[in-house]
A = this chain, B = another copy of it.
Amino acid sequence: MPMHSKPPTRRKVTLADIAAGCDVSRATVSLVLRGSPLVNKRTRAKVEAELKRQGYVYNRAAANLRRRTSSSVALVINDLGNPFFAEFAAGVDEALGSAGYVTLLGNTGESPERQQAVLSSLIEHGPAGIILSPAEGSDDARVIAAVGRHTPLLVFNRSLGEASADDAPWDTLVLDNERGTHLATEHLIALGHKRIAFFGGHRDSSSCRQRRQGYLDAMKAASLAVAPGWLVESAPTRLEAARQAGALFNRDPAPTAAVCYNDAVALGLMLGLTSRGRRPGEDFAIVGFDDIAESSVSVPPLTTIAVDPRDRGRQAAELVLARIGHPDMEATHTTAPVRLVVRDSSCRPASP
């Protein structure tokens, strides 16, 4: 007869312990755990009591091994320290969690080398899928070499390597950068502006190219000219943007408004304008891009394009889960919507 005492055991309690403890087979206990309708009410109660008594915890790894399934999804992020990606990660984790998956995290810090290491480490844990926000300068061949052909891959935000986004053999999710700046530009035009600049960002970044394109399209659609001095480059930081603010007014006619590459740049531009005696939101209109937390509390609050990174995270998770469900479907290429958030920084042009 089994003792009723619970010895201060060191080893973890397993199905076999439970089975022994209440005199049924391992198989039965397993059925109980998974809520099978096969098992008799009384046995179920007996087993459940024993589970609680021994403090059993399910070993999902063992189960996954046997069932040849996986309950995790890998999330590889180029820069977790960036609030945009942190929010994205939070969204991913939330959606994965409520689908019963657990998130395997890997942060690469924008290093393609580390990205390779992280990918090959994560892949050994057999995730059901991978969400990758690639480090700048990733090489697609190396990435798929590490990921293999078996694990569904969703690439977020940037395209891998040279490949143009829309015909990659993996799923992609990108922001609608063009539409974002298009909206922003239209908004300024609707307010009455005619001389609108595009401010900030690096020529070679793909997102900057797209955003500038959206601006150009909107200007063209409204038959407005773009003077050469209205395309001002700057590193995408506040400080650099503040320094470049003057460049907008080098030649006549000077713009009365600017669409900015992103919010950091927009906030920097505000600073730069202020220190030159102009009042953003009163005699110069500004629109940003990203809607970072700070933008709603700046002075003046910044009109911007919201990209809802947390929603993008959820969306990414859902896309990869869908793909896990249908591994043989053709690759999907999703463009996520963006929306214009009007605040006070976008004013009407000063009457001449």
Contacts and interface: CB of A to CB of B under 8 A. Distances in A.
Interface residues of A, number: 49
Nearest to A296: B239
Given A89-B80, A106-B93, A60 B12 contact: no
B58 A124 contact: yes
A97 B118 contact: yes
A103 B102 contact: no
A81 B72 contact: no
B107 A125 contact: no
B60 A125 contact: yes
A341 interface: no
A343 to B, nearest CB: 14
A269 B93 CA distance: 35
Contacts of A57: 123-124, 148
A238 to B, nearest CB: 5
A11 B90 CA distance: 32
A102 B83 contact: no
A79 to B, nearest CB: 8
A346 B238 CA distance: 22
Contact of A83 (B81, B106, B310): B81
Contacts of A94: 107, 109
Given A57-B148, A58-B124, A310 B104 contact: no
Interface stretch (A61-69, A205-213, A245-253): A61-69
A124 B294 contact: no
A105 to B, nearest CB: 4
Given A81-B90, A271-B299, A61 B55 contact: no
A97 B74 CA distance: 14
Contacts of A102: 104-106, 121-122, 125
Interface string A71-108: 11001000011010011011001100100101111110
A269 to B, nearest CB: 13
A59 interface: yes
Contacts of A86: 80-81, 83, 86, 89
Given A150-B12, A299-B271, A105 B61 contact: no
6 contacts: A61-B126, A93-B105, A94-B107, A97-B106, A97-B107, A268-B297
Given A57-B124, A61-B61, 18 more contacts: A55-B148, A59-B65, A59-B126, A61-B64, A61-B126, A81-B83, A81-B86, A81-B310, A83-B86, A86-B86, A89-B107, A100-B121, A104-B105, A238-B297, A239-B297, A268-B297, A271-B299, A294-B294
